Amino acid sequence: MCKSMPELPEVETISRQLDRLIVGKKIKKVKVKLPKIVKAPQAVFRRALMGARIKNVSRRAKLLVFGLDNGWSMLVHLKMTGQLIFQIIKNIEQSTMKNRYTQKNRYTHVIFNFTDGSRLLFNDLRQFGYIKLVKTVELSNFFLKEGFGPEPLERDFTLADLKVLLVKKPKARIKQFLMDPKNIAGIGNIYSDEILFFSRIHPLRRVASLKPAEIKKIYSGIKKILPAAIKLKGTSTNDYLDVFGRPGKFAARLKVYGQEGKKCVKCKGRVVRIKIGGRSAHFCPVCQR
């Protein structure tokens, strides 16, 4: 299976779980074991978090956004191997017997302790993930500067919106178009492959070559596949786990991503893998034209 960072369904899963678990909790202490993970002066970081309550947890693109009650927001990017693991201290002994990921380990770089005895661990094997602080009133400007495109699962993201975006990039290859967060937020390697297989469109196709019916199929694939993946708590292809240390179950539903050399589920041809701009694309050369 190929390596891929958590995408929209995985980050949305974590966001929803944490929004249920930690909203209202007060941060008692923050322990930073690997300073480079935190993109802020340590004193400022601790001062902003100590004693703050979690107001909400949300997602923008592949960023987790923790709203605090003191005017700050904490942004967490999991990158390739980041994990956020929630613990209730009194249950740790029991839970670690079931799952080694629910305990603190050598890849735990930041620990958020709450006043009720629970805590949140930020683990990251490859140390590409990061944590930032942004004033809540400045979040909109921050996201604007990041250049994130529209959220594909918002109700106001319509087929007409997708068409407008596509018109702006006629020479782009459709696989790369879907993966660019400046076009659409949150779709990465896994789900662009799956959306294009659903749509029966070759990943190397130029945007300008797409017919109206094909664009409609891509839009349908976005609206169908991403929610289905969220329902199954995402795709675990390498290090992704939900906040309880459990893998997502959508991997069993993957049709082409990571299926190189296997029979196509539709035509019984063989799934192939190619490189596009330094990234992989998996597809069926018979079904996808």
Q: Annotated active-site positions, please?
A: 6-7, 62, 279
Give how far the C-alpha of residue 20 lies from the chain's centroid of Cα atoms, to the nearest Å: 18
Handedness of CA 21, 25, 31, 35 (dihedral sign): positive
- CA nearest to 231, candidates 83, 13, 4: 13
State in Å, rounded, how far the first CA of the chain is from the last one.
Answer: 24
Give 161's contacts (C-beta < 8 A, 6+ positions apart).
Answer: 150
Specify whether the CB–CB gap between 242 and 248 falls below 8 A: yes
Question: Helix, strand, or coil here: 161?
Answer: helix
